[in-house]
Amino acid sequence: MQHFKTLVSYLEYLELPRPEHPMLSVFSEKGEGFLPCPIKSSPPITNDCYSISLKKIIKGDLNYGRTHYDFSNGALIFIAPRQVLQWDETVVYDQKGFSINFHEDFLKGTELDYQIKKYGFFSYSVNEALHLSPREETQLESIVENIKIEYQNNQDAFSKEIIISQLTTLLKYANRFYERQFLNRKELSNSLLENFNQHMTQFFESGQLQENGIPSIDKIASKMAVSQRYLSDTLKKETGKSTTEHLQLHLINEAKNILLQPNKSVADVAYELGFEYPPYFSRLFKKKEGISPTQFREKFKMN
């Protein structure tokens, strides 16, 4: 798989003009007769850059990570360094939108270098992209124009600080708009929770827990055809609990059923649930239930 270490080499591959800054490029519909990407198709590639793009795709499938998505409306897509990208000639872009690309080293020595890693949407799949209302789109486009003006000016000692400030503002708005999207998509959130619970129930009933151990969050998300971060963020917004906490609740619920079998020790229960170390199971059980597995078993006998 081809990997591009610099922004310049990545843009050259896309057949786009060289950037005015070696670590930053800004494209928008105003002033240019093109938007990324003019190259018709590409096998899987990676690079060391962040990308924030408002893309309006007329038709075609855009592959991003492990998923593909066919959408005709504008969507804000966030790409982190070393994520896999691929597309073919069926993708047709409308000449509207914007694209900001910056090398990860552009952020070094700034607060944003730490903050950007906290934004989960850089790990979302394309079908989890942010769909903007017209007003939201206008707000973000105005920020991008401010970045572009600074980018195209004769850059001085203040330029990078101003651009970083505008990028920070852009990401804060995106975070706010994602919050709105989660709230507006309650039905989807509920469906995702139900789907998660169904997958966990099937996992326990199939005996995979004993064979393969406790499933990773990434494996669960992959089975559900969503990204790990999107699954966790959606469940957190909907229930106040992360994916890990939901997984632990399923494990504890299953543990209670097995603990009621008198012929099994606490260690047997732990191993059956996929725990490699029984003390860890006991600590988790007490943390969630307030009593140890042994105390739970004794309490049930008393009732």
The pLDDT score that the predictor gives to residue 167 is 96
- Confidence band for 135, pLDDT divided at 50, 70 and 90: confident
CA-to-CA dists, residue 147 to 81, 103, 113, 206, angstroms: 21, 16, 18, 54
Checking phi first, is residue 246 left (phi over 0); if not, alpha (psi -120 to 50) or beta?
alpha
Average pLDDT of span 207-228: 80
The pLDDT score that the predictor gives to residue 5 is 94
**Is it the case that residue 157 has pLDDT exceeding 50?**
yes
The pLDDT score that the predictor gives to residue 50 is 94
**Is it the case that residue 229 has pLDDT exceeding 90?**
no
Residue ranges of domains in the chain: 2-184, 187-302
Average pLDDT of span 160-166: 94
Q: Cβ of 273: how many Cβ atoms within 10 Å?
A: 22
**Residue whose pair of structure tokens reads 């920020």 in the numeric block:** 143
**Is it the case that residue 205 has pLDDT exceeding 50?**
yes
Average pLDDT of span 276-281: 88
The least confident of 50-54, 118-122, 223-227 is 223-227
**Domain 187-302 class?**
mainly alpha
d(CA 297, CA 289): 12
Task: Dig out the tokens for 280 from the structure.
Answer: 């860890």
**Angle formed by the axes of helices 228-239 and 159-184, nearest 10°:** 60
Half-sphere exposure of 288 (CA within 13 A, CB side): 21
**Is it the case that residue 9 has pLDDT exceeding 90?**
yes
Q: Is the dihedral of CA 26, 29, 31, 35 positive or negative?
A: positive
- Is CATH 2.60.120 the right assignment for the domain spanning 2-184? yes
The pLDDT score that the predictor gives to residue 113 is 93
Residue count of the chain, please give it: 303
Q: Which residues pair with 85 in a beta bridge?
A: 45, 64
φ/ψ (deg, to 5) at 47: -155, 180
Q: Which pTM value belongs to this model?
A: 0.67
Instruction: Answer yes or no: are the C-beta atoms of 186 and 192 closer than 8 Å.
Output: no
**Alpha carbon of residue 98 to chain centroid:** 21
Which of 103, 77, 100 is CA-nearest to residue 151? Answer: 100
Antiparallel, parallel or unpaired: β 42-47 and 2-4 = parallel
Task: Dig out the tokens for 211 from the structure.
Answer: 């064979």
Q: Cβ of 246: how many Cβ atoms within 10 Å?
A: 21
φ/ψ (deg, to 5) at 185: -115, 45
Q: Cβ of 67: how many Cβ atoms within 10 Å?
A: 16
